[in-house]
Amino acid sequence: MSKNDELTVSVVTPAGSVYEGTTSLAICSTPEGKIGIMPNRLPLLTTLVIDEVKIQQPDGSFENIAISGGFLEFSNNELSIVAPAAERAEDIDVERAMSARDRAQKRIAEAKSNKKSVNDLERAEIALKRAINRLNISKG
């Protein structure tokens, strides 16, 4: 593969670097839907939703990374993903995600029974999305 057929990817969080590599295809989820980012495309800056980022490996398989929002910037064949939290599939602690899911479900039920807790409800729904996303990605 020549250099023009690949792009570099970095996934960074406040806790540190989660992924560095090169690829010919990265699939990311934006508020408008999933986009495939390939080498030499036009520059792009967009937010990301809680979902997975899929990075194609030389053997055609994908490295899957759980992303908790953030944004991506692409230019000059460099894709930078900056997220509040991100985990490679193999680094996801499944029990922790299950506990987070159960806690979030309880908080949602409590917030729904107390109509004043709109913020609590929103926060719990987002926490539930993060937990379910981690569980889905850990399953592969």
Name the site residues for ligand ATP (rule: CB under 6 A). 15, 68, 85, 87, 91-93, 96-97, 100, 127, 130, 134
Query: Shortest distance, CB of residue 9 to ligand ATP, whole angstroms?
Result: 18
- In the complex with ligand ATP, the residue whose CB is nearer, 96 or 112, is 96
Put residue 127 in one of left, alpha, beta given phi > 0 → left and psi -120 to 50 → alpha. alpha
Rounded to whole angstroms, the Cα distance separating 43 from 50 reads 22
Query: Shortest distance, CB of residue 97 to ligand ATP, whole angstroms?
Result: 4
CB atoms within 10 A of CB 111: 19
- In the complex with ligand ATP, the residue whose CB is nearer, 37 or 92, is 92
Rounded to whole angstroms, the Cα distance separating 127 from 79 reads 27
Rounded to whole angstroms, the Cα distance separating 96 from 43 reads 37
Measured N-to-C along each axis, helices 118-139 and 94-113 cross at an angle, to the nearest 10 degrees, of: 150
- In the complex with ligand ATP, the residue whose CB is nearer, 7 or 104, is 104
Query: Shortest distance, CB of residue 62 to ligand ATP, whole angstroms?
Result: 19
Query: Shortest distance, CB of residue 68 to ligand ATP, whole angstroms?
Result: 5
- In the complex with ligand ATP, the residue whose CB is nearer, 44 or 126, is 126
Looking at residue 54, the DSSP 8-state letter turns out to be E
